[in-house]
Amino acid sequence: MSGYRISPQAAWIEASEHDGPDHVVWAAHLGSGAQFEFTDTGWLIWMLLSDGIGDAATLTAELRRIHAELGAEASGSPSDESAVSAFLAELLADGLVVADA
C-alpha cells in the first residue's frame, strides 16, 4: 500500500478558520455521524494528509522536519514511523481516510 488520503466520507474544518483554537481540526464521518477532534500532532498529520502527503514514512519525515524547525521537544512528537502508522490505522478504522491502491 502506498499511503492514505482523506476519505470522501469525511467532512472537516480547521478550527482556526472559524474563530476556533489554533492547531485543531474538527472532522466527522458523513455516514456514521461520528465526530472527531485532532489537536497538535494529530492536527499536523491531518493537514499533511490534506496536502497529499499520505504515506507513513514521508509523514514521519515531515513531522521531524517541522518539529526541528520549531524547536519542539523530541518527546512531544511521534518520531517513529510505527506511531504514525498506528494513527493512520485508527483513521482508517474510523473511515476518515482510505488506502491508496
Positive or negative torsion for Cα 71, 73, 74, 78? negative
In the chain, % of residues over pLDDT 90: 68
Are the beta carbons of 40 and 57 closer than 8 angstroms?
no
Q: When comparing pLDDT for 28 and 2, which is higher?
A: 28
Is the pLDDT confidence value at 7 over 90? yes
Q: What CA–CA distance (Å, rounded) separates 89 from 99? A: 10
Average pLDDT, rounded, for the chain: 89
pLDDT exceeds cutoff 50 at 26: yes
* pLDDT tens, position by position, 39-77: 989 999 999 999 999 999 999 999 999 888 877 654 455
